[in-house]
Amino acid sequence: MDNPTEAKVFFKMLGQVAQLTDDNSHTHARLKIAAHFGQVGLQREFQFLIAGHNVVGFLPHWADDVRNEITGRMLHDIKNTHGEDARKLCWGCL
């Protein structure tokens, strides 16, 4: 984060992610992070999981495994593009 405005937006997003997690909206929390960092492909993958969750009313175990794999790729990309501190902060809110 190169400027105070960028940092403020980032920390506001983290607060929203933490609230989504507290509300048991774990996939929405991950979607919020992917959207913040402009990870369009990962956003689509999370949206697909959310749509499936909405159809059956819960997240099947296999979908949880898929979500974890997508999350790993998302955090790896964040680390590579924004640094380990950004990755840790995002992971800490999930």
CB 30, CB 94: distance < 8 Å: yes
pLDDT exceeds cutoff 90 at 3: no
Query: What is the separation of C-alpha 31 from the centre of its chain, rounded to a whole number of angstroms?
Result: 5
Q: What is the DSSP letter of 23?
A: T
Q: What is the DSSP letter of 44?
A: H
Residue pLDDT, tens place only, 27-52: 999 999 999 999 999 999 999 999 99
Q: How confident is residue 1, by pLDDT bands cut at 50, 70 and 90?
A: low
- pTM comes to 0.94
Q: Which two tokens stand for residue 25?
A: 């909206």
38: region left, alpha or beta (phi > 0 left; psi from -120 to 50 alpha): left
- What are the boundaries of each domain within the chain? 4-93
Residue pLDDT, tens place only, 49-74: 999 999 999 999 999 999 999 999 99
| Residue recorded with tokens 């400027």 | 3
